[in-house]
Structure 1
Amino acid sequence: MLAVPAPAPDDRTGAGWAFEVKWDGVRCVVGTTGDGTVRLSARAGTDTTARYPELAPLGARLRGRDADLDGEVVVLDESGRPDFGLLQRRMGVGDPRRAAALARTWPVRLVLFDIMRLDGRSLLRVPYEERRGLLTGLGLGDGPHWSVPSHLAGRGGQAWQTTLDHGYEGVVAKRLSSPYTPGVRSPDWRKTRHLVTLDVVLGGWSEGRGGLGGLPGSVLVGVPEETGLRYAGAVGSGLSGDERRELARYFSVLARDTSPFAGPVDVAAPHWAEPRLVAEITFSGWTASGLVRQSVWHRLRPDLTRLD
């Protein structure tokens, strides 16, 4: 079952809703017939059991229970927050030795939040609130590599603020009375991301393709630090044609031969610019290497010339 992008209900309208953390990972269905083994499946149905050997002990905890569980695989950073960049190092690795080695360095955690079948009984028509109770009743607790986080019923404002304060990606709101509809993006589940606004310095650009030839396909942005201007990523989404042409005119005047960034910039054929322009972007978080994730251009800040 999939969620639709939509504003989350607030405290005034959220009486019939439950609120969960929006995890920055990949969906995973856990299937077991109760014999102590588990089969992990990706959203597309691909068998991913071999990728995450550290989840095998979950089978012993489910021994004797015939179940299908829904959840998300994540990798936590040093602060305990999901980091999709770290998870990417685990995805697609099916070789048992390689997967076992990666599990020691970047162990995954399986966050379980729904159940679709239990002891031969389909739960697809059972309301979310009751399914949640059955999931909790399995007694999986907080295992070495899995957990069943709690949800907040009717407290959308608290869920929003708590996930924002703790640096999570956002909130998923689920109607308490909703059935489980596999493969359907249902309005009974709503996902809302937190977006962070940031002022950045423009230090260059990379040329666009096709009709954007000669114009910025993306701008190279940085954040001032004590050691200099730290490269923070390339931003291209959200730029209009007029803005690209305007930036091209500015960059033609501000062109320089060397990078203004203090560290390396992994961009093919960059064009450098004097770091005098400031722009406002939105993004969903930082990667492990310090780059902005899911960044979107908002506007140029002509009222600012540097962030020093």
Structure 2
Amino acid sequence: MAPTPGRGAAAPPPYPVIQPMLAALGPLPPEHEQASWAFEGKWDGARCIVNTPGDGTLRLVTRAGNDTTASYPELGPLGEQLRGRPAVLDGEVVVLDSAGRPDFGLLQRRMGVLNPRRTARLAMEFPVQLVLFDVMYLGGSLLDAPYRERRAVLAGLGLAGPNWSVPGYVTGHGRQAWEAALQGGLEGVLAKRLSSPYLPGVRSPDWVKTKYQETLDVVIGGWLEGRGALGGLPGSVVVGVAEPAGLRFVGAVGSGLSDHERRELAHYLSVIPLDRSPFVNPVDLAGVHWAEPRLVAEIAFSGWTSAGRIRHPVWHRLRPDLTRLG
């Protein structure tokens, strides 16, 4: 017997669940091809999919699929601007420093906070900005529409508020966009082919991110105990990258970890131990304490060795916005 309204399963929302499209890491497109590309600034924040049924409410979802609506109450009024228009939009949540530059460290103070009193206080101290750069659904699917048309639709929505905006893009001038992004304190540039459709969950060559510093998101699958004063704490973490065949081990990262971060990691890793390696390839390290591959971190590195290992890795930060909960 099918459930009646109000009983059994909840009614599905009047918008599709859409995973974010991802960009490949690479250089700017060749100059002779740049007329076919749009260039946006790459913001140092947390990716966020905005969903609204058009009733004045909205739901914010991280790239890992976690509901983060309660963490950013100052974004709630955006739902009113979209009233009457069921929509799914793509954007980046950032916190700006006193110079107006995105500061991921300040954003981390907002991530995962759910207590209403605390979120209200943090919203006053460290207000977030939502940078919107795509629309995938507006009363109907826009996934197959080319980038230039989706951006025109987004601009036509007239979304502007104290905590959200729709920055423009430039066409055909990658070098100028790169220089402007660096002057503005951004991570680099996102190049998007003007004709590209939106491919949910796909890391497409039609979107290319060019960063000032080469960084990589890695999954922590274990740790090695430190020596001396670091006894009992992670001296380094054993990391991998997610591939279709599974998690591939790429090396260990210890450089750049602060004492506070080591203690934080020790706490997190103590509750997700594993009795076997989570990597699909051999790990040529002794004494590894394995862990469930849930924690995601961002590292910097200088390149790859011939054996597929990261060269000169340096720890940047944990990425709670990419960590899968539960």
Structure-2-length-normalised TM-score: 0.62
Q: 2:185 aligns with which of 160, 167, 172?
A: 167
Q: 1:15 aligns with which of 12, 32, 35?
A: 35
SS at match of 2:40: strand
1:3 aligns with 2:3: no
Distance of 1:102 and 1:42 partners within structure 2: 19
Distance of 1:178 and 1:6 partners within structure 2: 17
- The code of the aligned residue for 1:179 comes to P
Per-residue deviation, residues 102-132 of structure 1 (Å, max 9, x unmatched): 111100000000000002x100000000000
1:236 aligns with 2:255: yes
1:178 aligns with 2:181: no
Q: Which residue of structure 2 aligns with residue 136 of structure 1?
A: 155
Q: 1:97 aligns with which of 112, 117, 128?
A: 117
- The code of the aligned residue for 1:110 comes to L
Q: 1:110 aligns with which of 119, 130, 136?
A: 130
Per-residue deviation, residues 167-190 of structure 1 (Å, max 9, x unmatched): 211111000000000011111100
- The code of the aligned residue for 2:128 comes to V
Alpha-carbon distance, 1:101 to partner: 1.1
Alpha-carbon distance, 1:166 to partner: 2.0
Contact 1:22-1:172 within 8 A present in 2 as well: yes
**Percent identity between the two aligned chains:** 60
Alpha-carbon distance, 1:33 to partner: 1.5
Alpha-carbon distance, 1:12 to partner: 2.6
Q: Which residue of structure 2 aligns with residue 290 of structure 1?
A: none
Distance of 1:162 and 1:11 partners within structure 2: 17
Contact 2:73-2:120 within 8 A present in 1 as well: yes
Q: Which structure features the higher share of strand residues?
A: 1
Distance of 2:254 and 2:38 partners within structure 1: 35
Pairing 1:247-262 to 2, within 5 Å after superposition: none
SS at match of 1:12: helix
Pairing 1:58-69 to 2, within 5 Å after superposition: 58-69=78-89
Contact 1:27-1:43 within 8 A present in 2 as well: yes
Distance of 2:299 and 2:195 partners within structure 1: 33
Distance of 1:67 and 1:297 partners within structure 2: 41
Distance of 1:85 and 1:36 partners within structure 2: 31
Distance of 2:91 and 2:206 partners within structure 1: 17
Contact 2:39-2:174 within 8 A present in 1 as well: yes
SS at match of 1:14: helix
Alpha-carbon distance, 1:34 to partner: 1.3
Contact 1:31-1:39 within 8 A present in 2 as well: yes
Distance of 2:194 and 2:180 partners within structure 1: 20
Per-residue deviation, residues 250-292 of structure 1 (Å, max 9, x unmatched): xxxxxxxxxxxxxx986879xxxxxxxxxxxxxxxxxxxxxxx
- The code of the aligned residue for 1:72 comes to E
Q: Which residue of structure 2 aligns with residue 145 of structure 1?
A: 163
Pairing 1:277-288 to 2, within 5 Å after superposition: none
Alpha-carbon distance, 1:160 to partner: 0.8
Contact 1:236-1:296 within 8 A present in 2 as well: no
Query: What residue ranges of structure 1 are gaps of 5+ in the alignment?
Result: 197-207, 219-233, 238-263, 270-292, 301-308
SS at match of 2:34: coil
Which deviates more from structure 2 when the two are superposed, residues 101-110 or residues 38-47? Answer: 38-47
- The code of the aligned residue for 1:131 comes to R
Q: 1:126 aligns with which of 145, 152, 168?
A: 145
1:76 aligns with 2:118: no
User: Aligned residues, how many?
Assistant: 221
Distance of 2:261 and 2:149 partners within structure 1: 50
1:50 aligns with 2:70: yes
- The code of the aligned residue for 2:166 comes to V
- The code of the aligned residue for 2:197 comes to P
SS at match of 1:122: coil
Runs of 4+ displaced beyond 4 Å: 264-269, 293-300
**Structure 1 residues 11 and 54, CA gap change in structure 2 (3 angstroms):** same
Alpha-carbon distance, 1:22 to partner: 0.6
Alpha-carbon distance, 1:35 to partner: 1.0
Alpha-carbon distance, 1:99 to partner: 1.0
Contact 1:235-1:297 within 8 A present in 2 as well: no
Alpha-carbon distance, 1:165 to partner: 1.9
SS at match of 1:9: coil
